[in-house]
């Protein structure tokens, strides 16, 4: 199995000085419970999942963070980063989110769907980042939920993301969405980031009854 260490470090060095890139590489290996030696290609999925969890500590901007993760993800042998195998594939998909790997799966599903719809590379990154933020919220604050990705055809062509959980709900949505609000746990950052990246955001929640977040982006 080929050693992917050099390629991963090269990708990280596009975003960080070499010493920091090496430190992030080492800490991500530990988080992914991978050996500290050569990184085999078949370890890349676990490495990328761990990187998604740790990178917010180093890159605050969601779009740039997604670009960095995408640069590493494209090193995966099975990465479907060019064209989907079914150009006219299904108009909807669902990913159940219970692990970091499924956060990555939800993000990749959204990116591939956005590509199929015809979004630009920049908008694909924005959509994938928004889904990553919503899925990570589910994982961090509830532990189990679903992300639904649907192609919109009417009245405008685009993509709809619905993130559903059965957690405690949000007591005060307006407070969480306030520009200056940030709880000690970071609650609300994912929602505000999603709002900036998408064209439409709607939150349906009730204390004790879970939360449903609907986000849409439309083709220009």
The predicted-structure confidence for 121-149, as pLDDT tens digits, reads as follows 889 889 999 999 899 989 988 999 999 99
pLDDT at 201: 93
pLDDT at 83: 42
Contact 217, 199 (CB under 8 A): yes
Contact 114, 128 (CB under 8 A): yes
| Segments in 2-120 forming alpha helices (H) | 5-12, 18-31, 44-54, 62-73, 100-117
Chain segment 146-165, per-residue pLDDT in tens: 999 999 988 889 999 999 99
- Scan for tokens 């993509």, then name that residue: 159
User: Within the chain, which residue ranges are assigned CATH 3.30.565.10?
Assistant: 92-218
For residue 29, give every residue at least 6 positions away whose Cβ sits within 8 Å of its Cβ, in sequence order, or none: 35, 36, 39, 47, 50
User: 92-218: which CATH topology?
Assistant: Heat Shock Protein 90 (3.30.565)
Chain segment 59-79, per-residue pLDDT in tens: 877 777 878 887 888 787 655
The CA distance from 45 to 35, in Å, is 14
Helices first, then strands: H and E counts in the chain? 8, 5
């Amino acid at each position: 199995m080929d050693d992917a260490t050099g390629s991963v470090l090269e990708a990280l060095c596009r975003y960080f000085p070499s010493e920091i890139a090496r430190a992030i590489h080492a800490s991500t290996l530990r988080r992914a419970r991978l050996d500290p030696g050569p990184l085999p290609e078949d370890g890349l999925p676990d490495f990328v999942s761990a990187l998604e969890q740790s990178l917010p500590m180093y890159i605050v901007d969601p779009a740039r963070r997604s670009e960095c993760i995408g640069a590493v993800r494209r090193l995966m042998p099975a990465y479907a980063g060019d064209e989907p195998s079914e150009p006219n594939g299904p108009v909807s998909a669902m990913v159940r989110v219970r692990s970091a790997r499924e956060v990555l799966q939800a993000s990749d599903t959204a990116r591939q769907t956005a590509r199929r719809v015809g979004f630009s590379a920049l908008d694909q990154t924005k959509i994938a980042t928004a889904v990553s933020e919503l899925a990570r919220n589910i994982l961090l604050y509830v532990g189990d939920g679903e992300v639904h990705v649907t192609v919109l055809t009417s009245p405008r062509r685009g993509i709809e993301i619905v993130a559903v959980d059965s957690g405690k709900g949000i007591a005060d949505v307006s407070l969480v969405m306030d520009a200056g609000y940030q709880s000690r746990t970071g609650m609300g950052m994912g929602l505000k980031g999603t709002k900036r990246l998408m064209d439409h955001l709607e939150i349906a929640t009730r204390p004790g009854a879970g939360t449903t977040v609907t986000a849409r982006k439309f083709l220009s």
